[in-house]
Amino acid sequence: MFTSGLQHVAAMYAGVVAPPLIVGAAVGLSGTELTFLTGASLFTAGLATFLQTLGFWKIGAKLPFVNGVTFAGVAPMLAIVDTTDDKADALPIIFGAIIVAGVLGFLAAPWFSRLVRFFPPVVTGTVITLIGVSLLPVAFGWAQGPNPAAENYGSVKFLALAGITLVVVLLLRRFTRGFLKQIAVLVGLVLGTLIAIPFGVTDFSAVAEADIVGFPTPFHFGAPQFALAAIISMCVVMLVSMTESTADMLALGEIVEKPADEKTIAGGLRADTLGSALSPLFNGFMCSAFAQNVGLVAMTKIRSRYVVACGGGLLVLMGLSPVAASLISVVPRPVLGGAGVVLFGSVAASGIQTLVKAGLEKDNNVLIVAVSLAVGIIPITAPEFYHAFPETAKIILDSGISTGCVAAVLLNVVFNHFGGRKDDDEVTAPMEPGEEIRSAKAAHAH
Q: What does the pLDDT look like over 147-193, one tens digit per residue?
A: 788 888 888 999 999 999 999 989 988 888 766 776 777 788 889 88
pLDDT at 124 over 60: yes
pLDDT at 426 over 60: no
pLDDT at 198 over 70: yes
Determine the pLDDT at residue 167. Answer: 93
Residue-wise pLDDT for 360-378, tens only, equals: 778 888 999 999 999 989 9
Angle between helix 333-356 and helix 291-300 axes, rounded to 10 deg: 70
Determine the pLDDT at residue 162. Answer: 92
Region 405-418: what's the mean pLDDT? 84
Percent of the chain whose pLDDT exceeds 90: 9
pLDDT at 323 over 60: yes
Q: Could you tell me the pTM of the whole model?
A: 0.64
Determine the pLDDT at residue 236. Answer: 72
pLDDT at 425 over 60: no
Reference 4, options 283, 246, 313; nearest CA is: 313
Determine the pLDDT at residue 115. Answer: 72
pLDDT at 52 over 90: no
Determine the pLDDT at residue 437. Answer: 46
Region 105-116: what's the mean pLDDT? 83
Radius of gyration of the chain (CA): 21
Determine the pLDDT at residue 446. Answer: 55
Determine the pLDDT at residue 1. Answer: 82
Half-sphere exposure of 175 (CA within 13 A, CB side): 6
Using pLDDT thresholds of 50, 70 and 90, give the confidence band for residue 427: very low
Q: What is the mean pLDDT of the chain?
A: 79
Determine the pLDDT at residue 99. Answer: 93
Region 250-276: what's the mean pLDDT? 84
Determine the pLDDT at residue 337. Answer: 85
Task: Report d(CA 156, CA 162) in Å as an integer.
Answer: 10
Half-sphere exposure of 353 (CA within 13 A, CB side): 15
Residue type, 194: L
Region 85-111: what's the mean pLDDT? 88
Determine the pLDDT at residue 353. Answer: 79
8 Å CB contact between 359 and 398: no
Determine the pLDDT at residue 160. Answer: 92
Greater model confidence, 392 or 412: 412
Greater model confidence, 162 or 251: 162
Determine the pLDDT at residue 328. Answer: 63
Residue-wise pLDDT for 383-407, tens only, equals: 888 888 876 677 667 777 778 888 8
